[in-house]
């Protein structure tokens, strides 16, 4: 007997894959210096990723100022394996330093 995926589940999976959700994280690479990565679906723009990284830097640095290093135009597309096949994901990676 063949099992079918309910239409509502299939719709939820497709919605999750093409929605505008993003994930942003940062990792300390030196004292007061962090690598931040913002990734999300192809619905996310470079500007949204840049805003996410700026928000992350502000959260990490608190009241301190910060500077961004790297090209803000270097958002790129990659494919992530999922249960429905390769899914396109956009990413922007920058370094920020708290002062």
Tens digit of pLDDT for each residue in 19-69?
568 889 999 999 999 999 999 988 888 899 999 999 999 999 998 999 999
- CA dist 37 and 91 (Å) reads 7
Q: Which residue has the tokens 């505008």?
A: 20
Whether residue 3 is predicted with pLDDT greater than 80 in this model: the reply is no
Output the pLDDT for position 91.
92
23: left (phi over 0), alpha (psi -120 to 50) or beta: beta
Name the token pair of 85: 């096949």
The enclosing H or E element of 89 equals strand 85-98
**In contact, 23 and 41? CB cutoff 8 Å:** no
Q: How confident is the model at residue 7 (pLDDT cuts 50, 70, 90)?
A: very low
């Amino acid at each position: 007997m063949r099992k079918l995926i309910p239409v509502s589940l299939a719709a939820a999976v497709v919605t999750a894959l093409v929605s505008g959700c993003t994930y942003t994280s940062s990792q300390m690479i030196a004292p007061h210096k962090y690598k931040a990565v913002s990734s999300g679906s192809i619905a996310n723009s470079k500007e949204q990723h840049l805003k996410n990284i700026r928000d992350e830097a502000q959260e990490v640095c608190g009241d301190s100022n910060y500077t961004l290093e790297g090209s803000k135009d270097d958002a790129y597309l990659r494919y992530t394996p999922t249960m429905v096949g390769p899914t396109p994901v956009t990413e922007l990676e920058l370094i920020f330093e708290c002062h």
